[in-house]
Structure 1
Amino acid sequence: MRFALNFAWLSLVAGATATSYDGYQVRRVKTGTQLASVKQKLSTISHETWDRVHGHWDVLISRDQIGAFNALGLNARTLHEDLGHSITKEAHVKGSWKRQSNHTGGDDPWFDSYHPYDDHVEWWQELQKSFPQNSNWTSSGTSYEGRDLFGVHLWGASGPGKPAVLYHGTVHAREWIAAPVIEYIAKQLIDGYKAGDNVTQAFLNKYDFYIFPFVNPDGFIYTQTNDRLWRKNRQPPPAKARNQTCIGRDINRNWETNWDATPRGASPNECSQTYRGEKPRDAPENAGLDDFARKLRDSQGIKLFIDWHSYSQLILSPFGHKETLYAPELGKWTKAAALVSEAIRDGSSNATTFTFGPSGAVLYPTTGSAPDHLYTIGRAEFSYTIELPDFGDFGFVLPPERIRPAVEEQWIGQQVLFSLLDEEFFDETGPAIFTI
């Protein structure tokens, strides 16, 4: 495989055209039961929300606001002392690559650093070509800027057409770790199948895998050339919008299911990071993904859907829009997630712990989200969001040396999950919520 260092990518490293975060800090504020008080204090200074995680509020503080933040007296610790330095370290690309066909198992150096978008596309093209009798290149449409929403379809013995396992990755552009995780899982499936591994062959013989690693390619490229922390797609605001400078829709708030539910888990403000759009599916990325999912529903059926995100180490199931609304399938979703979490904790080098449960109860309200839609409209039997590492020491800017542990532990978890998809594993006559 030929890997050329992309000049647009290098501009991010050099800061030539990119938003500079030099001297910015990311602080983790403990909220506990004092969320309202913390929000009130933070409202007195200029800051950006980085994320909300397990009783904490992670915030981005500019150089000129650090003193004002310190004066608030909040219970906080520093995650990034200099975010600009962390981004430069993260974006370092190792210079020489061999064809991936020379690497099997865990020795592929691809998983030791991050990569430009064009190299990801080439990597996937070569992976698909290495498995020509049991795969094809597929697409769910095009992005706002006209990029192919490409995917790879994998199958085993007796050809395609079995129940589907559907993966979506890089929904939020800044969540770089999602793509390597999906890539590692796909490579393990193919390498294991070709090597005659009975377990891997059983997975591919029973399910078709549809893997879409970049459902927000425009946003991902923008994080590599302009703003490392960009989240949304790159679609302009509606013509009637007051502020015509605010770009992008949140692809994970633009799905039809519960799009306008209350309490609201998305924003009607085009400048918000969670802007839901004017109506469901008005992001071209969502329209294409939704059409693809409905076709799978009506043909093969969807056994498992996973929307891969970062960060905070969570395995989340529907529903997201209400804290106390539970689906009838919650029992088996929770039992499966608990066993996946246990396998990752016991089998990973970092003993990583994943918390699990309904999204609205475990995280915070979200409306118009993919797992809810793929469950209600796509009729996926299992539907999850997996929030990848870490818990918050690095957040979105996960160092390259943390890629390999993250991808390896997800393969451990996915093998357990695939083995649990059979109906006979679950006692459907039991209670809706299991105690694990």
Structure 2
Amino acid sequence: MRFLLSFLLVSLAAAATIRSPNASPHDGSRVYRVKAGRQVAAVHKRLDGIASDYWDQAHGNLDVVIPRDKIEVFETLGLSTRLLHADLGESIAKESVVKRKTWKRQANDTNDPWFDSYHPYDDHVEWWRELQGSFANQSNWTTSGTSYEGREIFGVHLWGAGGPGKPAVLYHGTVHAREWIVAPTVEYVAQQLIHGYKSGNNITQAFLNNYDFYIFPFVNPDGFVYSQTNERLWRKNRQPPPANAVNQTCFGRDINRNWETAWDADPRGASPNPCSQTYKGVVPRDAPENVGLDNLVRKIRDAQGIKLFIDWHSYSQLILSPFGYKETLYPPELGKWTKAAALMSEAIRAESTNATTFTFGPSGAVLYPTTGSSVDHIYTVGRAEFAYTIELPDYGDFGFVLPPERIRPTVEEQWVGQQVLLSILDEEFFDGEGPAILTL
């Protein structure tokens, strides 16, 4: 997944906008979906010098950004395409309106206006402080360390009756900076956990009574801030290139290619080039964000065990399990992972007003090879019993620039899916002896 852009904060009487002081470099650019089939590499080659950005999708599709001065040349290629954004700059401007006067959380109300727009990073931090404070006796503010630029990689630890120390559910969000829909999704799930527990919902209380939740909404805070102030579709962290790099202007490591497990297992899974969107670093864990997160994973593993790990991303509507680094390597847990993912997908589709459909299966087989990824590492080293990467909506009408009106349906669908998943984590369910699936 690969894109780039620009934004700046502008205050208005009733709203604010996050955008650049100058015209967006993507004004007039178009985004196309190219049907490449099995010729993805060949299509990539044909697009060299034409597309300013592109990213691979499932089912042999490529989504590409074409600058306005290259559109005519692109259209002469005769590729099978579908137009996603007629003017990417205009789409970004519409996405960037922030309803500043109504953002504060309204007593865990499910109609909270926070979920009607995107928000600046500092507002997100304040929102989380307020949420944690509303559940202060059964939560704490936690951290896995600091980012390259010194921002706290904060999280909230939630627990139920009997205090902390039960098997952990670990959520990571905003690994890739441009994936703005991830933060409100993780926020909505956390809000509903707390609201349900406090209001006496038996099912939600059971979740928190059975598991500790460690929720990290911004594991790449530097990149996220940069996406709001400089380049909207920035992906990586903001770490400088190695001292011996030929091009010293290419910043950032992909912190979802920097984990230790299978870091160098397949040359297709990540890049050694600092200018690449999937730059894996010089060695595993040479991004400070990964060091802190990995240390925390090992600490939780040893202290209480990890029942479930989810790394939230966008987009493509996928529920992906290990392994990502080898298409034909399948863990022994694949059967129960697939069954759980199928039930999640079915529940989301049934409850969704958009009939949102998620494809599921092993990451390397369903999508493409990925090395040094969190889901493989936290399954193998962290010994997580369930491990998924969830790629949020949409499938390909908007991509990373998902309109604000799509925030609420997306977050509500994911809470439906999490209720199903958290209800079936018990081994007894997979033995056919457990309780019936949660009926929503």
User: Shorter chain as normaliser: what TM range?
Assistant: over 0.9
Deviation at residue 351 of structure 1 after TM alignment: 1.1
**Could you say which residue in structure 2 is the equivalent of 1:433?**
none
Counterpart pick for 1:78 among 80, 83, 98: 83
CA shift, 1:9, in A, is 2.7
Gap change, CA 1:18 and 1:178, over 3 Å in 2: farther
- How far apart, CA to CA, are the structure 2 residues paired with 1:146 and 1:115? 21
Give unpaired runs (5+ residues) of structure 1: 1-6, 429-436
Task: Summarize the Cα distance change of 1:99–1:266 in structure 2 as closer, same or farther, 3 Å threshold.
Answer: closer
Counterpart Cα distance in 2 of 1:263 and 1:234: 23
Match of 1:192 among 196, 200, 206: 196
1:368-383 pair list within 5 angstroms: 368-383=372-387
Deviations 1:222-250 (A, max 9, x none): 00000001000000001111111100000
- The aligned amino acid for 2:291 is A
Q: Tell me which of 351, 364, 377 is aligned to 2:355.
A: 351
What is the CA–CA distance in structure 1 between the aligned matches of 2:200 and 2:267, rounded to whole Å?
Answer: 50
Task: State whether structure 2 residue 27 is matched by structure 1 residue 22.
Answer: yes
CA spacing shift, 1:309–1:99, aligned 2, 3 Å: closer
- For 1:98 and 1:61, locate their aligned partners in 2 and report how far apart those are by CA, in whole Å: 35
Q: Which amino acid aligns with 1:180?
A: P
User: Which residue is 1:58 aligned to?
Assistant: 63
1:182 to 174, 181, 186: 186
Cα deviation, residue 39, structure 1: 2.7
Question: For 1:322, which of 315, 326, 344 is the aligned residue?
Answer: 326
Deviation string 1:80-132 (CA, Å, 9 cap, x unpaired) is: 0000000000000113126424342x210000000000000000000000001
| Aligned mates of 2:91, 2:49 — CA distance in 1 | 27
The one-letter code matched in structure 1 to 2:143 is S
The 8 Å contact of residues 17 and 225 in structure 1, kept in 2 or not, is answered as no
TM-score by length of 1: 0.94
Choose the corresponding residue for 2:39, options 34, 38, 46: 34
Kindly state the Cα deviation for residue 51 of structure 1 after the two structures are TM-superposed. 3.9
Pairing partner for 2:52 from 34, 47, 51: 47
Q: What residue number does 2:341 align with?
A: 337
User: Measured at CA, do residues 9 and 284 of structure 1 come closer, stay the same or move farther in structure 2, by a change above 3 Å?
Assistant: same
Task: Kindly indicate whether the alpha-carbon contact (under 8 Å) linking 2:117 and 2:404 is maintained by their aligned counterparts in 1.
Answer: yes
Q: Name the structure 1 match of 2:401.
A: 397
C-alpha contact (below 8 Å) 2:18/2:120 kept by paired residues: no
Is 2:8–2:19's contact at 8 Å kept on the other side of the alignment? no
Secondary structure of the corresponding residue to residue 251 of structure 1: coil
- Contact map agreement 1:18 1:226 (CA 8 A) in 2: no
In 2, Cα distance between equivalents of 1:191 and 1:103: 6
In 2, Cα distance between equivalents of 1:142 and 1:153: 17
Task: Check the 8 A contact 2:160/2:209 in 1, yes or no.
Answer: yes
TM-aligned CA deviation for residue 171 of structure 1: 0.2
Distance 1:99-1:76 versus aligned 2 partners, 3 A rule: closer
Q: 1:244 and 2:248 equivalent?
A: yes
Establish whether residue 407 from structure 1 lines up as the match of residue 404 from structure 2. no
Q: Distance in 2 between matches of 1:65 and 1:377?
A: 46
Determine if the alignment matches structure 1 residue 164 to structure 2 residue 188. no
Stretches of 4+ aligned residues off by more than 6 angstroms: none
Instruction: Check the 8 A contact 2:24/2:89 in 1, yes or no.
Output: no
Distance in 2 separating the partners of 1:8 and 1:42: 31
Please tell me the residue identity of whatever aligns with 2:97: H
Given that 2:132 and 2:140 are in contact with CA atoms closer than 8 Å, whether structure 1 keeps it comes out as yes
3-state DSSP class of the match of 2:100?
coil
Question: What fraction of aligned residue pairs are identical, expressed as a percent?
Answer: 73
Structural mapping, 1:84-99, within 5 Å: 84-97=89-102, 99=104
Could you tell me whether the CA contact under 8 Å between 1:232 and 1:273 is conserved in 2? yes
* 1:51-95 deviation line (CA, Å, top 9, x unaligned): 423221101111111011001010001100000000000000113
Amino acid at match of 2:358: F
- Whether the aligned pair in 2 keeps the contact of 1:19 and 1:228 (CA below 8 Å) is no
- Residue 316 of structure 1 deviates from its aligned partner by 0.2
* RMSD of aligned alpha carbons: 1.5
The separation in 2 between residues aligned to 1:215 and 1:37, in whole angstroms, is 35
The amino acid that maps onto 1:368 is: G
- Cα 1:183–1:409 change in 2 (3 A) is same
What is the DSSP-based 3-state SS (H/G/I as helix, E as strand, rest coil) of the residue aligned with 1:60?
A: strand
Residues 1:98 and 1:214: Cα distance change in structure 2 (over 3 Å): closer
Amino acid at match of 1:258: A
For residues 208 and 45 of structure 1, the distance between their equivalents in structure 2, rounded to whole angstroms, comes to 49
Q: Which residue of 1 aligns with 2:316?
A: 312
Please give the TM-score of this superposition, normalised by the length of structure 2: 0.93
Structure 2's unaligned 5+ residue stretches are: 1-6, 12-16, 433-440
Q: How many residues align?
A: 421
Query: What one-letter code is carried by the residue in structure 2 that aligns with 1:60?
Result: V
What's the counterpart of residue 219 of structure 2?
Answer: 215
| Alpha-carbon distance between aligned partners in 2 of 1:131 and 1:400, rounded to the nearest angstrom | 28
